[in-house]
Amino acid sequence: MKSVLVLYYSRGGHTARISRAVADHLLSIGHKCDMMHINEAKAEGIDWAKYDVVALGACVLYGSYHKSVFEFSAQYQAELNSKASSFFSVNVVARNPEKRIPENNKYLQKFIELSAWKPNDVKVIAGKVDYPSWRWYDRMMIQLIMKITDGPTDPKSVIDYTDWEDVKVYAEHLISLAK
């Protein structure tokens, strides 16, 4: 039995839902798993010694990750490097299968370039378009981006592009990283 910590940054809740699916699957197959938002982790602290594997996930908005993701990975770079660890990027551009390949996903590559932590293991997970739940400004900006990239622009669209079976495969992959 392995112990996994899933850390995440989620703005609209979808990355939290993906993190929960990873945790639930690991628990269902007999492993231990805790999950924490990075803000909670910073406030409460992390007992790094409890975990065999750490996964950090974050969503992309407007072409980048929230600054707190970069701050967290810089602050805990040594701890992340001392463990088997993985970074997963949740973004809607990954609705296209070729953009799920890490080398073809410019958002993931941007994280690797800009982050103090250089994860050895990475994963791209397709996100969710949820226009009705977004603030008007976000909705307008994302509609513009979607128009440019031939994505959905209907303001009533709610489309979950996440491959939930692949999320389970990723969860099991995390166990294979344990030393």
pLDDT in tens, 95-134: 999 999 999 999 999 999 999 999 999 999 999 999 999 8
| Residue 106 structure tokens | 């410019």
Q: Per-residue pLDDT for 44 more than 80? A: yes
pLDDT (0 to 100) of residue 3:
97
Q: Per-residue pLDDT for 179 more than 80? A: no
pLDDT in tens, 46-83: 999 999 999 999 999 878 899 999 999 999 999 999 99
**Closest CA relative to residue 15, chosen from 77, 73, 76, 65:** 65
| The Cα angle at residue 94 between residues 129 and 159, in degrees rounded to 5 | 25
36: buried, middle or exposed (CB in 10 Å: 19+, 13-18, 0-12)?
middle
**pTM of this prediction exceeds 0.85:** yes
Q: Residue 129's CB: how many other CB atoms inside 10 A?
A: 21
**Closest CA relative to residue 66, chosen from 126, 17, 104, 12:** 12
- The mean pLDDT of 23-31, rounded to a whole number, is 98
pLDDT (0 to 100) of residue 78:
96
- The mean pLDDT of 20-37, rounded to a whole number, is 98
Q: Residue 7's CB: how many other CB atoms inside 10 A?
A: 26
Measure the CA–CA gap between 79 and 65, rounded to whole angstroms: 21
Measure the CA–CA gap between 179 and 177, rounded to whole angstroms: 6
Query: What does the buried/exposed string (b/e) look like for 77-97 if buried means 16 or more CB atoms within 10 Å of the residue's CB?
Result: eeebeebbbbbbbbbbbbbee
**Closest CA relative to residue 106, chosen from 64, 149, 166:** 64
